[in-house]
Structure 1
Amino acid sequence: MVLESLLAYLHLLAILTMVVFLASEAALCRSEWLNPKAVARLGKLDLIYGIAAVAVLASGVARIVWGVKGPAYYGGNWLLHAKVGIFVVIALISIKPTLTIRRWVKAQRAGAALPAEAEVRATRRLIMLQAHLLPLIPLAATFLARGFGGRG
Structure 2
Amino acid sequence: MLEATLAYLHFIAILSMTVFLGSEAALCRTEWMNGAMLRRLVRVDLIYLTFAVLVLASGTARMVWGAKGLDWYLAQPLLHLKITIFLVMLWLSVRPTLRFRQWVRAHEADGSLPSEPEVRQIRRRIMVSSHLMLLIPLPAVLVARGFNFTF
**How does the TM-score come out when normalised to structure 1?**
0.95
More displaced, 131-140 or 103-112? 103-112
Q: RMSD across aligned C-alpha pairs, in angstroms?
A: 1.1
Give the CA deviation at 1:109. Answer: 2.7
Percent of matched pairs sharing the same residue: 55
Secondary structure at the aligned position of 1:136 is classed as coil
Letter in 2 for 1:128: M
Gaps of 5+ in 1: none
Name 1:11's counterpart in structure 2. Answer: 10
Name 2:36's counterpart in structure 1. Answer: 37
Count residues with an aligned counterpart.
150
Tell whether the 8 Å contact from 1:108 to 1:114 is kept in structure 2 after alignment. Answer: yes
* Runs of 4+ residues deviating >6 angstroms: none
Q: Please give the alpha-carbon distance, in whole angstroms, between the structure 2 residues aligned to 1:105 and 1:138.
A: 35
> Kindly tell me: are residues 24 and 42 of structure 1, through their superposed partners in 2, closer, same or farther at Cα, counting changes over 3 Å?
same
Secondary structure at the aligned position of 1:63 is classed as helix
Tell whether the 8 Å contact from 1:17 to 1:52 is kept in structure 2 after alignment. Answer: yes
Write the mapping of 1:1-150 to structure 2, written as runs, cut at 5 A.
2-149=1-148
Give the CA deviation at 1:12. Answer: 0.5
